[in-house]
Amino acid sequence: MALLEIENLVVEFQTATGPFRAVDGVSMKVHEKEVLAIVGESGSGKSVSMLAAMGLLPWTAKVTADKLTFNGRDLLGMSSAERKKIIGKDISMIFQEPVASLNPCFTVGFQIEEVLRIHLGLDKAGRRKRAIELFEAVGIPDPAERLGHFPHQMSGGQCQRVMIAIAIACNPKLLIADEPTTALDVTIQKQILDLLMRLQAEHGMGLIMITHNMGVVAETADRVVVQYKGRKMEEADVLSLFESPKSNYTRALLAALPDNATGDRLPTISELFVDEPSLQGAAR
């Protein structure tokens, strides 16, 4: 059975100029122990579809779907109290800006222990022991000392490690990583990706990687969903996506990589990919 099943997801935002459709009929499945990458440019709805699945969108968003289930349980019809028991425990998320997603007013130790207290109900000594274990697992040196530090005392890469530690604190079945390495240097990016892949394999988590970096996709994913303007353009396993992309948009995206440049000019997406009129009408 699929871990997360999304069928025909539509997300609309109420704006001053009428409803704006950010996600338009997206379907996807994530299986246990699978790494799914969602690729797209800004505005393609890749983050919004995941936020919708977790119920984290503001009230201005209208979310409808034929099916939106996690582990067989319907996420849409669930009360928010019930959902809170799942979010952060069985499904957890890592965000793009590691420094901004931690609370600057509290020590990182407090923030990780908060999760352990709410979801697992551990006592004080148990929380501290588990927090140290988690910091060790994500490769933070001198974990007992580090628990007392504030986010501003740590580097961006270390903050992302703390975020990952918080996200895996309750052994989630599904981890959603929203551009986890975009704000980091390449050498740190490599370390964080290696860490995520190791944890995914060790814990047998499902992992959704939201990214716009084709290199990150190539290095991590089993299966890939390509999104454009809120629509799913293509879904394929990673090898066939890079070897023989079916959709014109994917082909244009791959051709625009400077790695694949032949000759002096880079082909741009607007030259290679003409937005189908049917899509334009539907998406606006």
Partner 1 sequence: MTVVLEARNLVRDYHIPGGLIKKAKTVHALKGVSFTVEQGKTLAIVGESGCGKSTLGRILTLIDPATSGELLIDGNKIDITKGELTSEMRRKVQIVFQNPYGSLNPRQKIGDILTEPLIINTKTPADERRDRAMAMLKKVGLDERHYNRYPHMFSGGQRQRIAIARALMLNPKLLVLDEPVSALDLSVQAQVLNLLADLQDEFQLTYVFISHDLSVVRYIADEVMVMYFGEAVEYGSRDEVFADPKHSYTKTLFAATPRADVASIKARLAKKQAA
* Binding site residues, partner 1, CB under 8 A: 41-42, 156, 185-190, 193, 201, 212-219, 238-239, 242-243, 252-254, 256-261, 264-270
SS3 192: helix
Q: Which is nearer to partner 1, 75 or 238 (CB)?
A: 238
d(CA 214, CA 242): 9
d(CA 170, CA 87): 11
Distances (CA, A) of 160 to 103, 109, 136, 204, 219: 13, 14, 14, 21, 19
Q: Which is nearer to partner 1, 117 or 246 (CB)?
A: 246
> Taking the complex as a whole, how short is the minimal distance between the CB of residue 38 and partner 1, in angstroms?
15
> Taking the complex as a whole, how short is the minimal distance between the CB of residue 46 and partner 1, in angstroms?
12
Residue 269, φ and ψ in degrees, nearest 5: -65, -35
Both structure tokens of 86? 């799942």
Residues 6+ apart with CB under 8 A from 77: none
SS3 122: coil
Q: Which is nearer to partner 1, 8 or 270 (CB)?
A: 270
> Taking the complex as a whole, how short is the minimal distance between the CB of residue 181 and partner 1, in angstroms?
9
Q: Which is nearer to partner 1, 104 or 259 (CB)?
A: 259
d(CA 85, CA 23): 26
Return the closest-CA partner of residue 175 out of 201, 154, 156, 151: 201
> Taking the complex as a whole, how short is the minimal distance between the CB of residue 225 and partner 1, in angstroms?
16
> Taking the complex as a whole, how short is the minimal distance between the CB of residue 184 and partner 1, in angstroms?
9
SS3 51: helix
E-assigned strands of 88-230? 91-94, 174-178, 206-211, 223-228
Both structure tokens of 224? 């890939």
Parallel, antiparallel, or unpaired for β 67-70 and 231-237?
A: unpaired
Q: Which is nearer to partner 1, 132 or 188 (CB)?
A: 188
Q: Which is nearer to partner 1, 7 or 219 (CB)?
A: 219
> Taking the complex as a whole, how short is the minimal distance between the CB of residue 90 and partner 1, in angstroms?
25
In the chain, count of helices (H) and strands (E)?
13, 11
Q: Which is nearer to partner 1, 110 or 242 (CB)?
A: 242
> Taking the complex as a whole, how short is the minimal distance between the CB of residue 159 and partner 1, in angstroms?
13
Q: Which is nearer to partner 1, 49 or 220 (CB)?
A: 220
Q: Cα 18 to the chain's mean position, in Å?
A: 28
> Taking the complex as a whole, how short is the minimal distance between the CB of residue 242 and partner 1, in angstroms?
5
